[in-house]
Each structure stands twice: as C-alpha cells, then as structure tokens.
C-alpha cells in the first residue's frame, strides 16, 4: 500500500472498548491474564429522581471478563463513579449498561465472543470459561441466557430460511454428550441448538 496512514496506538480502540463506552487508562500483564484499567467515558452527574446535579462521592471498581486477547483472559477493571444528589440526597453510580448488563460478570464483547466460540467455533463451555477466566457456571449461565435471547426468543429467526438441515453428533469428553443443531443450509448459520 503506497499511502499507508498510521495513527497513534490506542488500546481503547484495539480492544473495542469504545463500543462499550469505556476508555483504557492503564494495563497490567500477569502471567495468566491481562487486566485493563478502564473508566466510563460518559458523565452521569444528574440525579435520576429530581434532576439536580450531583457531586462525586467516591468510586467503586467493577470487574468484567472481556474477550481474550491472544487467548489470554482479559479482565476489565472499570472504575465507576458514585454521585450524591445535592437536592434529594439520592446516591447512584455511573451508567455502565453499554459495557455490560447490570450484575453481569462478562462484558458485552466477552459475551459475544463466548456465544460465537460455542455456536460457530464449536468450543466447549469449559474452553470458553478458560478463555474468559471465569468459572464454568458463569460462562454457561451467560451463554445460555444470551443464546436464548438472541436465538430462541427471536420470532424472525426462520423468516429467511428456505432449507433446513438437522445434524446430531456426539461430543466425547468425560461423558457422552449429544448435540443437535438445526442449520439454515443456504446461509450456513445455526438457527437452533440443543
């Protein structure tokens, strides 16, 4: 490419955290994981109850498992400000719903990676949990909930399907597990799995 244009290195863009409303402010590489210190970009200093401006009270750290970078589990240590309303005294935290669901342990990008790894890459839940650096139950619960929301609860998932193929195969690990997939043969996409 004769006219290649480069910009300054930006870890926020490289890790796709700008899509989640986060900005990287630091990093730590351990032997078993990468930890990215992040902050929420959007200010959130207006009270949700009365509309008065709040003042920063303190901060809390929310840890989220993120998509692995180079197959190294990546954890986001998100610093979240807490505010106190000057009018009614209500206390709230910065909105992190772009980064993850409330009380979730996986970022939205981490959840997307896990779902794609299982459905498209045919990885096991154990391998996905290892890649994210979370427990098997955490990965399984998150993937099942997201898969149900995206695949099963979507009434339009069969709209463009003209031919369906059903495939059942045995996954041999510690036990004999059977997996059945319903695929759209024209788009080569899984429309249901069980």
**What value does the mean pLDDT of the chain take?**
85
Q: What are phi and psi of 103, to 5 degrees?
A: 65, 5
Does position 141 have pLDDT exceeding 90, yes or no? yes
pLDDT bracket for residue 194 (50, 70, 90): low
Indicate the pTM of the whole model: 0.76
% of the chain at pLDDT higher than 70: 82
Interior/surface letters 182-191, b for 16+ CB within 10 angstroms, e for the rest = bbbeeeeebb
pLDDT value of residue 147: 82
Find the DSSP H helices in 59-177: 108-119, 125-132, 136-147
Q: Helix, strand or coil for residue 118? A: helix
What is the pLDDT confidence band of residue 187, given thresholds at 50, 70 and 90?
low
* pLDDT exceeds 90 at position 133: yes
């Amino acid at each position: 490419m004769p006219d290649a244009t480069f910009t300054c290195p930006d870890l926020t863009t490289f890790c796709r955290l700008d899509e989640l409303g986060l900005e990287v402010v630091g990093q730590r590489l351990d032997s078993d994981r990468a930890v990215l210190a992040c902050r929420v970009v959007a200010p959130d200093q207006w009270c949700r109850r009365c509309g008065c401006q709040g003042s920063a009270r303190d901060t809390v750290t929310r840890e989220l498992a993120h998509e692995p970078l180079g197959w190294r589990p990546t954890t986001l240590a998100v610093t979240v400000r807490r505010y106190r309303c000057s009018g009614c005294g209500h206390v709230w935290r910065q909105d992190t719903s772009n980064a993850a669901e409330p009380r979730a342990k996986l970022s939205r990008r981490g959840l997307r990676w896990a779902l794609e790894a299982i459905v498209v890459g045919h990885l096991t839940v154990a391998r996905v949990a290892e890649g994210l650096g979370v427990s098997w139950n955490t990965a399984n619960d998150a993937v099942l909930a997201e898969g149900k929301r995206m695949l099963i609860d979507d009434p339009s998932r069969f709209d463009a399907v003209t031919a369906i193929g059903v495939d059942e195969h045995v996954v041999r690990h510690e036990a004999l597990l059977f997996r059945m997939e319903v695929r759209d043969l024209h788009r080569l996409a899984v429309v249901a799995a069980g």
